[in-house]
Amino acid sequence: MAVGLQLVGLVLGVLSWCLQSSSTSSHTWKTKSHMEAVTTSQWQFEGLWMSCAATALGSVQCSKFKTVLGLSAHLQTCRALMILSLLLGLVSILLSILGLKCTKIGRTSAKVKEQITLSGGVLFLLSGDRVFTLTAISWYAARVIQDFYDPLYPGMRFELGTGLYLGWAAAGLAILGGSMLCCSTCGGAALSPATPLYFSRTSRGPSIYRAAPASDNSSAKAYV
């Protein structure tokens, strides 16, 4: 059961990282609104790194933002959060692979591998939860919605783009995968395979006894 949770959590984490990468590089975090337009022969959309314009003939022209310091604070913050999220996600994937019960790394004990898996799950939660991806995506979306409904906003009005939905999906998968990895380490302590078990029948029904560790000073058999 624990191995299954670890594998499913790792797969979800990898999918989350792929979606985060696609969202970060996407050029469609917001698209020009055609609410008041008569025709829709031209489209304009923007991402974290560049602004693009497309026509009905199929031509697309993109231009990178020429300045970094001149960008708005929320755009720079979203860039930093998404990059940190990708780095954390990559570290989480590596830790989760090393912590799988079906992998062997030298003489690493089961307890240490559980701690590695737990660390990978926590990092997945951090990369997808409020700290990074979800903060960046939700903050950017809130700014787009605020500008859209602001009657005094003098600029062009945009709507939510595909890149934001990819980011929300990535955050959800990261949270789900991280939760599964953390839950896989929360199982009760299993009996050691080397510990012999003894079965006996009494008037009260069958009973199970486990042999206690043998003492160095005593050769007698002890039962608990």
Q: What share of the chain is helix, strand, coil (3-state, %, to 5)?
A: 50, 15, 35
Whether 58 is covered by a domain: the verdict is no
Whether 13 is covered by a domain: the verdict is yes
User: Which CATH number belongs to the domain containing residue 178 in this structure?
Assistant: 1.20.140.150
How confident is the model over 95-129, as pLDDT tens digits? 888 877 777 766 767 777 778 778 877 877 777 66
Whether 162 is covered by a domain: the verdict is yes
Tokens of 15: 């999918």
Whole-model pTM? 0.73
Structural domain span for residue 8: 1-29+71-186
Whether 199 is covered by a domain: the verdict is no
Count of domains for the chain: 1
Whether 82 is covered by a domain: the verdict is yes
Output the pLDDT for position 168.
Answer: 92
**Amino acid making up residue 136:** A
Whether 145 is covered by a domain: the verdict is yes
Low-confidence ranges of the chain (pLDDT < 50): 188-195, 197-199, 214-224
Are 126 and 72 a contacting pair, CB within 8 Å?
Answer: no
